[in-house]
Structure formats: C-alpha cells, structure tokens
Structure 1
Amino acid sequence: MKYLTVEEFAEKWHLSERRIQKLCIENRIEGVIRFGHSWAIPEDAKKPEDKRFHLKLLKP
C-alpha cells in the first residue's frame, strides 16, 4: 500500500495542512499511521464528511 503525506493530501483535498492533521488526530481518516511527528495516509483514503455546522444551510 502506498502512503501520502499531510502536505500531499492538503493539496489533493483542497484543505489546509492543519485541517488534515486534525482529521488524523480525530481518527476520521481510515488507515492513517502516526510515526514520530508525521502522519502517513493511505493513497486511496476517502475524504471524510464535513461535520462542521454551517449557518448558510439553515437560511431559506
């Protein structure tokens, strides 16, 4: 299995590196591996659903 870095996934998913790290810490990306201060994310990992609350979704 091939793994990618936080930086590569940030570019791939159009998210910040910090957001990818947070998703890894929260175990929201399946198959991540922590080694030292870095994360290895499986190349075929699926982007988790955004569960943050958005006010604009409530507007008619």
Structure 2
Amino acid sequence: MKYMTVLEASKKWGISDRRVRFLCSQGRIRGIIQQGRRYLIPDGTEKPYDERIRRSHGS
C-alpha cells in the first residue's frame, strides 16, 4: 500500500499541514500509521468532512 506524508496530504486537500496533523491526532483520518511524531496517510484517502462548517437548512 502506498502512503503520503502530511505535507503531501495538505497540498492534495488544500488545507494546512497543521490541520492535517490535528485531524490525524483526533482519529478523523482512517488507516493512518503513526511513527513517532510522523503520520503516514493511505494514498487514496479522501479529505475528511470539516465539522467546523455549519450547513444552513434553507428556509
């Protein structure tokens, strides 16, 4: 299986590397491997949904 680094994931998903590290530390990205302070993310992993964004219920 191929893995990408935090920096590669941040470029691919258009978010900061700090945000990717936070998502990894919170268990929001499936299949990661942690090696010390380093995270390896499976290459085909989709960007997790951002729970900080509220969706309006259109009225």
Q: Report TM bin, short chain.
A: 0.7 to 0.9
Q: CA deviation at 1:36?
A: 1.2
Q: Aligned partner of 1:43: which letter?
A: D
Cross-structure match for 1:42: 42
Gaps of 5+ in 1: none
Q: Aligned partner of 2:16: which letter?
A: S
**1:51 and 1:25 mapped to 2: Cα distance?**
15
Q: Secondary structure at the match of 2:10?
A: helix
Cross-structure match for 1:13: 13
**1:47 and 1:17 mapped to 2: Cα distance?**
13
Structure 1's consecutive aligned runs of 4 or more residues displaced over 4 angstroms after TM superposition are none
Q: CA deviation at 1:33?
A: 0.7
Cross-structure match for 1:51: 51
RMSD: 1.8
Q: CA deviation at 1:53?
A: 4.2
Amino-acid identity (%) = 42
Scaled by the length of structure 2, the TM-score of the pair is 0.87
User: Greater helix percent: which structure?
Assistant: 1
**1:52 and 1:24 mapped to 2: Cα distance?**
16
